[in-house]
């Protein structure tokens, strides 16, 4: 698994619009065969802070996601909603393994 956390700070007056655009993107993204999970989370004590938690089956699936129409629509729709440029951190999955459990057991 290949995991990406995308950190986004949204303008206060754009929170609801960002949420709607991101939910539409997430609903479409989770339909991609290479996407195992796609979460949109909002920080409790600062509602302008969001994290997209994207879990791909492979690194190549992450690249395929960026070629989809729904990703392009999201990217373009939210560009002016951000208070600062978004950034991402990439992770390798350690646990659970690809079968959903610790196969060393």
Judged against a pLDDT cut of 60, whether residue 2 lies above it is answered with: yes
Cα torsion 4, 29, 83, 79: sign: positive
Which tokens hold the place of 26?
Answer: 């997430």
Which tokens hold the place of 2?
Answer: 């290949």
Across the chain, mean pLDDT equals 93
Judged against a pLDDT cut of 70, whether residue 74 lies above it is answered with: yes
pLDDT at res. 102: 55
The CATH number of the structural domain formed by 2-92 is 3.30.70.100
Query: C-alpha distances in angstroms, 90 versus 1, 56, 58, 103?
Result: 11, 11, 12, 24
Delimit the domains of the chain by residue range. Answer: 2-92
φ and ψ of 97, to 5 deg = -75, 180
């Amino acid at each position: 698994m290949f995991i990406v956390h995308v950190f986004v700070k949204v303008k206060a007056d754009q929170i609801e619009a960002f949420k709607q655009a991101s939910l539409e993107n997430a609903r479409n993204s989770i339909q991609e065969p290479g996407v195992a999970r796609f979460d949109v989370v909002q920080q409790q004590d600062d509602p302008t802070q969001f994290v997209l938690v994207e879990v791909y089956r492979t690194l190549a699936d992450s690249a395929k996601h960026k070629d989809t129409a729904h990703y392009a629509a999201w990217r373009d729709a939210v560009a002016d909603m951000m208070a600062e440029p978004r950034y991402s951190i990439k992770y390798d999955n350690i646990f659970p393994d690809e079968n959903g459990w610790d196969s060393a057991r």
